[in-house]
Amino acid sequence: MRDFLQGNHRGKLIDWLKIDSWIDSGLYGAWIGFRDWWSAYSSFFGRFEVKGFVRACNELACESLSLAVAGFLVLLTFALPAFEIAQGKINLSNEYSVTFLDRYGNEIGKRGLLRDDSVPLEDIPDHMIKATLATEDRRFFDHFGIDIVGTFRALAENARADSVVQGGSSLTQQLAKNMFLTPEKALSRKIKEAFIAIYLENHYTKPEILKLYFDRAYLGGGSYGVEAAAQYYFAKSIREVTLSESAMLAGMFKAPTRYAPHINLAASRARANEVLSNMVEAGYLSEGQVYGARLTPARIVERGDAKVPDYFLDWAFEEVQRLMHGKPNRIIVARTTVDLGLQRAAEDALEGTIEKFGRSRNFDAGALVSMETDGAVRAMVGGKDYGVSQFNRAAHAYRQPGSSFKPYVYLTALEEGIVTPDTIVSDGYVSCGRWSPKNYSGGFRGRMTARTALAKSINTVAVKLSLKAGREKVLANMVKMGVKHLKKTCSLALGDTGMTPLQHVGGYAVFAAGGIEVRPYGIEEVRTIPGELLYNHDRDEPERKRIFERRVVEQLNSMLHTVVTAGTGRRSRLDYTNNTGKTGTSSAYRDAWFMGFTGQYVTGVWYGNDDYTPMARVTGGSFPAQTWKTYMTAAHDTDNIPQIPGVELHPRQVAEQTRIAAVMAQSTTADLPVPPPSENVKDMSAATRHVLEMISGLLKDAPDLDTNDKPRPGPAAQAPAPAAQASLASAMNSDETPRLRPTPAAIAAGNATSAGAAGAPVPQ
């Protein structure tokens, strides 16, 4: 190449050797420079090198720092949703104040923030505040939301006692749980609780947090907040409570139901003594100052039957908020569907079973939902003890339904024309991908009818039908019944996806209604305090549609009746009316169900454990079926029960109808008044029921007759009749206990009886 830049177009050759030498020398110089720098760097940091024990500590610190950063990132994933929860619910001005009535119009409880009854923190007695802090959080004004010292102290005390004797949650953490979280026992909930506590501490002052705690704590008897509790237990404002009454209230924060005085007065007073001792230990009061409170414990007002359907009211409150969303009214009255008689029967049946068999068979949680065939919920029990756990398992616990899900599969197969109740099916090997189901008893039974397969709860047949009919169609039918969260899986037919008891009972109510859609509801109507009607279920809800052919549902109901008469649900069989149902048991005995219905009520029972630990071989055909029968026997107080679609009337009902028809025919022939049909006492008006209850109370309070001490007075000893007679109506309007006085006719009858006893003839 030549250099053409010169004018004579003659150039010199490029000195490639020089360029190569420059590159080589440059690279060598760079390497030498880097090596010298690295040597100096190593020499500098070499002076900091540690060995032996110091190096081990250094390594441990580095690893700990790395784990701490990783842990912080994990906790941050819980913190963000926790803060979102707190920010979404912190605006207390949007809350409702709802007074609830039962189906007959009697007040049964309240929910929400009662702003008109709120008491400023300055008006709450000093001894009430001290009793609360001494018992729940003595370091309340010193920590940042989480009491680290108190937590470690509680851990040490619990370890020493080998049981839970102290709680480690601060008062702010308890407020976070009460306001924003469910009381479920889970690590994720505790982490969220801690972050929300920190959030509250950074957005509210200590007095404001303490005031929120006093307003939001549940203290038994359906009372939320110390003002409502003081009114309920002592019939006075929190401003006027004494030291002994404050100690009793402060003692209920830990376990409202266990220490509620109207439930267990002895335990409540013992707990109040502990609170007084805590106040002395904390230095708030001296032993002499609490001596008088120990001698004169708090006295509560008598309220008779103090049972409140708390789980139902919690769910009803959620329904009210949904129905009233976007409307300006905040202080309202809601008439519900709950029947307190059925509610008490449901609570007794569920709690009695857990108390009697729970410890030996390793289960301590349960739920029961009962509704009419149109979806009106008459009873709801979300757990064995509302004071211990307010988590409503009936409405919010998603548990695997097991074999109780199979009727939905059979319904789809019947609808598609794949089977009839008498179609022969085969109990044999079937697979879906790499999975193949097994029967509860093991092995295969060969050929049988579809009715028998459902009655014996054969898993392989249910899976075959789901595959043949199409799992997509099964899911589509579930959507028709209001269950939209299920997924398409191989084991769908065996109930592998969780459902709430309320959803499950709503699905079976469609069967009881003959294929008409059913939407469970708990609110009949909502009014303002002056009486303006805001919502009425019959007026505002859309008309129910038919979603399944009646013929198909009747076939399914006849098969479900066989489950009760000759299958796994025999323990639920009633002796006065026909009933249908299906048992369900999930894998490893984690869930046990019985779902069933008569012509009047649809009821579901679930047992299990909140932490999903297995039970001791508890199946749906054992305790759930027994509880179902116990409740339904108490729920039906007449033989006048409608017929289940597709199931014949019970012989006892047929005989009763025949007898009534004969009596009516005879009365008509003799021109006598025709006796009215038998009536369910639950259909009586509230006034009639109140009068009957008052008569019952008067009879119970009447003194026993003592015929040994005094001779029976004769006619001459009878007192003259009063001029005015007390009526039941006047007794109802009187504050004093009414006493019925003998009428002149009764006195005359008594004289006639005495004369007869003396020898005069008495007409028979």
**In the 8-state DSSP scheme, what is residue 239?**
G
Question: Residue 15: its pLDDT value, please?
Answer: 80
Q: Do domains 75-91+137-211 and 217-306 have the same CATH topology?
A: yes
Alpha-carbon separation of residue 388 from 56, 196, 345, 392 (angstroms): 48, 22, 20, 12
**Which two structure tokens, joined as six digits, stand for 9?**
């177009």
pLDDT score of 145 = 81
Class at the top of the CATH hierarchy for domain 217-306 = mainly alpha
Distance CA 593, CA 105 (A): 33
**What percent of the chain is modeled with pLDDT above 90?**
50
Cβ atoms of 597 and 563 within 8 Å: the answer is no
Residue in 130, 120, 141 with CA at minimum distance from that of residue 237 = 120
Cα–Cα dist 98/116, whole Å:
12
d(CA 547, CA 514): 10
pLDDT of residue 8: 52
pLDDT confidence bin for 22, thresholds 50/70/90: confident
| Mean pLDDT of the region 353-374 | 96
Q: Average pLDDT for residues 175-193, to the nearest whole number?
A: 69
**pLDDT exceeds 90 at position 149:** no
pLDDT band of residue 589 (cuts 50, 70, 90) is: very high
Rounded to whole angstroms, how far apart are CA atoms 336 and 324? 15
> Quick one: pLDDT band at residue 224, thresholds 50, 70, 90?
confident
What is the pLDDT at residue 508? Answer: 98
The CATH code of the domain at 75-91+137-211 is: 1.10.3810.10
What percent of the chain lies above the pLDDT cut of 70? 76
- DSSP annotation of 276: H
Q: Which residues contact 223 (CB under 8 A, 6 or more apart)?
A: 229, 231, 232, 233
pTM of the model: 0.66
Q: Say if residues 91 and 212 touch (Cβ distance below 8 Å).
A: no
Taking residues 198-218, report their average pLDDT. 86
Cα separations in angstroms, 393 against 85, 142, 224, 315: 21, 37, 21, 11
Q: Is residue 678 predicted with pLDDT exceeding 70?
A: no
Q: Reply yes or no on whether the pLDDT at 461 is more than 60.
A: yes
Hey, where are the domains in the chain?
75-91+137-211, 217-306, 344-514+545-635, 651-683, 684-699+725-753
344-514+545-635: what CATH class?
alpha beta
Give Rg (Cα) of the chain: 37
Question: Which region among 111-120, 489-498, 518-527 has the lowest average model confidence (pLDDT)?
Answer: 111-120
Determine the average pLDDT of the residues in 165-169.
61
* Residue ranges with strand state E in 512-612: 523-528, 533-536, 580-585, 591-597, 601-608
Lowest model confidence (mean pLDDT) among 147-156, 463-472, 489-498, 727-736: 727-736
- Is the pLDDT higher at 580 or at 120? 580
Following CA atoms 733, 738, 744, 749 in sequence, which dihedral angle do they give, to the nearest 10 degrees?
Answer: 130
The predicted-structure confidence for 390-435, as pLDDT tens digits, reads as follows 899 999 999 999 999 999 999 999 999 999 999 999 999 999 988 9
CA dist., res. 371 & res. 380, Å (int): 9
The CB density around residue 96, as the number of other CB atoms within 10 Å, is 17
CA-to-CA distance for 686 and 105, rounded, in angstroms?
Answer: 7
264 by Cβ neighbours in 10 Å (0-12 / 13-18 / 19+) ranks as middle
- Is 577 a residue whose pLDDT tops 70? yes
- The H helix count followed by the E strand count for the chain is 27, 12
* pLDDT in the model for residue 21: 83
DSSP 337: -
Rounded to whole angstroms, how far apart are CA atoms 422 and 449? 5
- pLDDT score at 689: 59
Who wins on pLDDT, 714 or 543? 543
Asked if pLDDT for residue 182 goes beyond 90, the answer is no
pLDDT of residue 144: 81
Please provide the average confidence, as pLDDT, over all residues in the chain: 82
Give residue-wise pLDDT tens across range 282-332: 999 999 999 999 999 999 887 655 578 999 999 999 999 999 988 888 889
Distances from the Cα of 427 to the Cαs of 372, 442, 458, 462, in angstroms? 36, 11, 7, 9
Residue 674 has pLDDT above 60, yes or no: no
Q: Are 105 and 88 in contact (CB under 8 A)?
A: no
